[in-house]
Amino acid sequence: MERIYIGMGSNLADPAEQLRSAVDALGQLPDSALVGVSAFYQSDSLLPGQPRYTNAVAALDSTLAPLELLDALQAIENGQGRERLERWGPRTLDLDILLFGDRLIDEPRLKVPHYHMQERAFVLYPLAELAPEDLHLADGRTLADLLKACPFVGLERLAHA
């Protein structure tokens, strides 16, 4: 089994409920065990004019292969009404593989560690609730290093999942 961290986000159709439903679905994945879920956080959208996002991170132990897991996550997104109309557009649910054990994955459909995660407070702070601060990324930086470089700005911590 490998420890996998999944970023979750929603800004449409009752975002907190979308995340709760996603957590339930993650707990039902085959050959996997849901280990933990961070608190929910609200943040502004990356693009102006969109509703605020609700974000969280889930920790999963799984023997699924990376692309099998990606397919399962996309099936969960689709089941919750996800439409892929525009990059960074509003969405009912976004599930991203942030980290997959200590693997570096560079496939056309999947890049791990997730691109830009080191710059996104709405990813790093929920991740820090579940992952050890001495967690090392492939480039040698620790989660603690990333947190120091990415201030807790524009985030609002909500109730736990």
Contacts of residue 8, defined as CB under 8 A and 6 or more positions apart, other chains included, come to 19, 22, 23, 55, 56, 57, 58, 93, 94, 95, 96
CA–CA dist 156, 118 (Å, integer): 19
Marked catalytic residue, from 31, 44, 71, 96: 96
Residue 110 identity = L
State yes or no: is 87 an active-site residue.
no
Q: Does the annotation mark 91 as catalytic?
A: yes
Element of type H or E holding 76? helix 66-79
Cis link prior to 113 (omega < 30° from 0)?
Answer: yes
Of 3, 14, 24, 82, which one is the catalytic site residue? 82
Query: Which residue among the candidates 3, 91, 139, 141 is catalytic per the annotation?
Result: 91
Active site residue 82: yes
| Residue numbers annotated as active site | 82, 91, 94, 96
